Each structure stands twice: as C-alpha cells, then as structure tokens.
Chain A
Amino acid sequence: MIRSARIARLGARLVAILTLALFFTAQDARAQQPSGTPSIEGVITGEARSRVSLAVPPALAEGSTPTAWVAEIGQVLRDDLEFSGWFGLLDARGEGRIAADRLQDPAAWRDVGASYLATVNVAAEGTKLRVQVRVIETGGGTVLMDKVWGGDASRDLRRLAHVASDAVVESLTGRPGIAQTRIAFVSRRGEAKEVYLMDYDGARVRRLTTTNTINLAPAWSRDARRLTFLSFLGRTPSIYLLDETGKVDLLHPAGGELNAAPDFSPDGGTIAFSSDRDGNSEIYLYDLASRREMRLTSHAAIDTAPSWSPSGREIAFTSDRSGTPQIWIMAADGSNLRRLTYEGRYNESAAWSPDGTRIAFVSRIAGRFEIVIKDLTTGKETIVTTGNGNKENPRWAPDARHLVFSSNREGIYQIYTMRDDGTGLRRLTRGDASYTPDWSPVRPN
C-alpha cells in the first residue's frame, strides 16, 4: 500500500519533470535554438526560459499559531519560489476568482490556470513550530510532495521557509533549490574589512571575523562548510581557512610577501592561489592534505585570480601577459594555456559557471567596469550589466542562473544579485560598503 503510493508519487513527479522538459523543449523549438536535440540541459542554459504556473495560497495557521509567524513563513517561501526563476507564481488569492474556502483546493486552481499547487500549514506549540508543505498536481490531484519540518520561531522562521522552498523546487524540477544558500562577503568597519555571511536574499547578516584589519575575497568550498580568504592579520597578507565550527587555519605556502586570491578546487582538496614568491604574481596549487605545492604559471606578467572549472580539470585566471589584463584558461597542471578574451583592453575577475558552460568576468567598457558572460560553446559574449557605476567581482549562484556582484552604482559599494541575463537586480546590503561576495554551493545533506 505504502509502496504503491510511493510509486504513484514518483510517477507523478516524473510526469512533472517530463512536463517541464516538454514545456522547455517546446520553448526551445520556438526560439529556434541551433542545437540538435533539445534537452532540459539545453534549456537551463538557453535563452528561452519558461515558467511553470504554480499557485501558493496564503499559509494556513493551525490552532492559535501567531499569524505574524505564519505570514512571514508564507512570504519568505513565496519570495524564494519567485526568485528561483522556475515558476510563474499566480496571485496568492487567485485574483479574486477563487472563494476563500477553496484556496486549498487543487481543482479551483486548475480552473484559473495553475498546473501545481503548494499548500503551507503552520502549527505552533509555544515557540516550537511545525511546517507542512504539500505540492499537488492540479489536474489529477496527485500529491507530489508532502513534507514536514520543525524549528523554533525565535530563530528558524526564515530557515523553515527556505528549506521548504528548496523541497518544492526539487520536487517539481528535479534540481536542488538555492534558498538555503548563503553569500560570504567583506564589509568595511572603520579602517578594517571583516568577513560577513548572509542568506542568499540578504537576510540574517552575521559577522565571521573580528580582526580589525583588512580581510578580502572569501571563497567557499564546494561542500559549503569552509571558507578561504585573504587577511592582512599577519606581517604579510596571507591565506586563511575558516570552517563552519569557527576553527581557523593559516595556510603555510612556501614563501612570498603576497599570497592571495585563494579558490577551492571542486573536490575541496586543493587551493589555487597566487603568490609573488618568485618575484612576480604567479598561480600555484596548494594540496591541503600533503601540503605540497605546484607552480602552474611562469611569466614575467601578472597572473592571478584563479577560478576552477566545475570539473576541476581547468582553471581560468587573469593575466596581463598580452600587455593588458585578459582572461586565460589552462589545464589544472598548467598545460594547454590559451587566451579566452580579446574584446576590450581590460578583462579580469573570471568566474566559471557551475554548469561549466560559461565564464563571467569584468570588462572595462567606456570607462566603467561591466559584467560580461562568455558562452564557452559559441564564444558569444554578452554584456549583462548597464547603468551607473562599476560592477565587479561576479560570482555564480549554484543554479548557474543567478550571479552576485558588488557595485557602486548607488554611491558606495554594495552587494547585488541578478539573473544571468542581467534582469531581476536586487540589492542585498545597505549601510557600510561591502565587497567581494561569493555565493555558497548547495550544501550536500
């Protein structure tokens, strides 16, 4: 009985995913994509993106659960789903076409064009919360997902919404949601810059370092449990590791007055960084287990800012060996070196997309720094930012559909996110100037 119910659920979920795939395929065909067989892979990185119509009626409070808690969970969940970009969210009350007592009824939503319905129930006992989320296919009423999470209202309201949102995304797309991801960055405090962390939506900002000195460019490990960053804490700028328990390690490379720009390899075992130990900024690998190092570049010009490809086989970096800073790519052993960018005289700060298909970088265009995305298959470059000020330090969200960056477009530098076509701009920070964001990977369970 249980088993057959599960099979039915799996079947329905498969149908949901296939429906999405077909939907996208149709969109692809309409957009006349040049590639052969369109697949969901092609859609995710393609230009024609479609949305699945999803209804999320107001969350229901059970018993005497405070309405403020219920409203917050419902709103955050809705914002998460909206941000994910997968869904066309219908008005929460069906634009007045659905009676209040039918807002949890799949058939009612089917009649106003929703393909799926996500219902949210919140129950409280004191501050102990219980959040139940169901995803229902409106056509046949099949329940695709029915999950419950627990937490404490004093600290977990937003987290509960995020975890539920990610489950909804996964149940309907087969892909992990990013609502539980976080963004590390540095923010100015007096003369210092300290490392901070916030949720991907800018909420729950917390400070990670108190060094009263300059810290820069935090970068996540792929398991999202460690950060590496540069600090001026010691005599010379050095690379530090900080894990989620608060343990700090100083990396001990062989020498140099400047060891900078650390980036974790996808397997988490190696850190690529730049060092001037040989008289000039070159790129090296540091193996965390053996503490062995390997020099990858050898040129009198500046080589810095390494960014691993998601496969771990290649590294993009900045080099001015051609006379001006440009993006170059090499194999992770330093071989097969080649220049990636030719447009413009100043291209730098490469970030390899998590799906491996594109590299985002910063280009100086008409005196301003803009973010450009280069498609590695077609070679096409797209300028995705416009408007006032500089846009710097692009880093990808793990869904490969969003980016975070810093910009002084409104005066002082703040952290922003946007979709990878430049739309959906959101400012996440306010107050003190903030820089060098990095978006965490999805944390494996």
Chain B
Amino acid sequence: MSKSSRTSRAKYAWLLIVVAAIIAGAAGCPSGTRLEPGDATPAPEPVQPSDRDSAAAATATETLGAEGFDEAPLTGVEEDLAAAGDLRSMTAEALNAQGVLGTVYFGYDSFAFDDAALAVLAENAAWLRTNPRFDIIVEGHCDDRGSTEYNLALGSKRANAIRDHLVRLGVDVARIGTKSFGEEQPAVTGSGEDVWAKNRRAEFILADR
C-alpha cells in the first residue's frame, strides 16, 4: 500500500518536471513555434526525482525563469558502477544471497499480478535481459492454508504465470525453469494475514549457465 502511494507520488513528480520542461521550451522559442513530438529540444535527462521537494524546486525554478548551474552530487553512481563491475565476476549464488531479483507476492488462492507484482516483474525481466549469462528458476510458494496437493498445483500456477510473463517481457524461455514448493518452504512461520501474505510468493533464483 505505502509502496504504491510512493510510486504514484514519484509519477506525479515526473509529470511536473515534464510539464515544466515543456513550458520552459515554449517560453524559450520564438512565438508561434510549436513543439512537435520529437523536437530537438529534449525533455530533461531523467534526473531521478527523489521526492516531492525536487519537483517543487523544479517548478519554482521555472516560475523564476532562471536556470540553475549547480549539479546534483552523483550519489549512488559510483556504487552502481562498482556493483556492475563485481557483477561480471559474481556467481549466481552470491547474487542470490544479495537478493538482486525482487520477490513477487500474490493474493489468496490467486496467481494474478497486482501493480506491485508487475513492477517487480518488469525490473527482474530487465535485469535478466541485461545479464544473459544467468538462467533463472522461478519458485512458486503458497501460504499453509489448504492441502499439500492443491498448494503444489497453485505454486506451479504462480511460477508458470511468471515464466510466461517474463517471456512476454523478452526473456528467453529456454533460460527459465519453474519449481513449485507449495506450502513447504514458508518465508515466515506462523499464521495470520501478515504471515500468509509474505508466504504467497514467487522467488527468483539465479543459476550459472
């Protein structure tokens, strides 16, 4: 819940930046010139908006018609490069331990994807496309309500649904294996909706080719 509201806030911030950029572009052009799609005037590079404040700042800047000259510090970039460097030599096991691929969660007795699941799947698919040297096992899991047999079948449904979606997102089907654990390997033990929600999931396990 909180995750999706964060996402929409981020989208909103993006929108503000784009709108601001269009206004800025229009203001800078001779009167009567229309911005065409594909116009050379680029939208700003996607400086990752971290929160509402950056959007507010962008709006304020536009209102003043001024351009700043200070550049945001390059936080995180060096780390990413370092990680990418490591990645080339890292084993699947080490990457799995790092949790580079997100887990997808499901509703009760369901193998449908909600928005959060689709977002994780998009990220995981992108990662797999850019790292073709790994295969992937999609493991389907269930909460412990219901029979062993039904939950094995449901876990299989979840894993297969993810495989099919990853293929739609451009991951080679030959790289994807599926495995259902049913209710046998809960992420969290106990009962109650909080526990069950954490156990109804699919995990992505990388394998060296």
Contacts and interface: CB of A to CB of B under 8 A. Distances in A.
B149 A260 contact: yes
B157 A362 contact: no
Contact of B147 (A214, A232, A237, A305): A305
Interface string B142-160: 0001111110111111011
A280 interface: yes
10 closest A-B pairs by beta carbon, nearest first, are A281-B153, A305-B149, A261-B149, A349-B147, A304-B153, A302-B153, A276-B156, A258-B156, A260-B152, A257-B178
Interface in A171-203: 193
B160 A302 contact: no
Interface in B140-188: 145-150, 152-157, 159-160, 177-182, 184-185
Contacts of B203: none
Given A369-B145, A390-B145, A318 B179 contact: no
B114 to A, nearest CB: 19
Given A237-B179, A260-B152, A305-B149, A216 B157 contact: no
Interface string A298-322: 0000111100000000000010100
B150 A304 contact: yes
Given A237-B152, A257-B177, A281 B157 contact: yes
Contacts of B159: 257
Interface string A315-351: 0001010001100000000000000000000101100
Interface in A368-416: 369, 390, 392-393
A262 B68 CA distance: 70
B153 A260 contact: yes
B62 interface: no
22 contacts: A193-B184, A214-B181, A214-B185, A217-B149, A232-B181, A257-B180, A258-B180, A260-B152, A276-B157, A279-B160, A280-B157, A281-B157, A302-B154, A303-B153, A304-B149, A318-B150, A325-B109, A348-B146, A348-B149, A348-B150, A349-B147, A436-B148
Given A257-B156, A280-B157, A348 B180 contact: no
A156 B114 CA distance: 60
Nearest to A435: B148
Contacts of A346: 109, 146
A274 interface: yes
A435 B182 CA distance: 14
Contacts of B184: 193, 214, 216, 232
B160 A393 contact: no
Contacts of A67: none
Interface string B105-146: 000010000000000000000000000000000000000011
B149 A349 contact: yes
A390 B145 CA distance: 9
A402 B180 CA distance: 33
A362 B148 CA distance: 12
A209 interface: no
Contacts of A39: none
B157 A302 contact: yes
Contacts of B154: 302
A236 B182 CA distance: 13
A99 to B, nearest CB: 56
A236 B148 contact: no
A393 B183 CA distance: 14
A276 B160 contact: yes
A271 B21 CA distance: 67
A280 B140 CA distance: 13
Nearest to A300: B157
Contacts of B146: 325, 346, 348, 369
A348 B157 contact: no
B147 A393 contact: yes
Contacts of A214: 181, 184-185
A322 to B, nearest CB: 13
A325 B152 CA distance: 13
A284 to B, nearest CB: 13
Nearest to A362: B147
Given A274-B149, A280-B160, 7 more contacts: A214-B185, A257-B159, A258-B152, A258-B180, A260-B153, A305-B149, A390-B145
Contacts of B177: 257
Interface in A45-92: none
Contacts of B147: 305, 318, 348-349, 362, 392-393
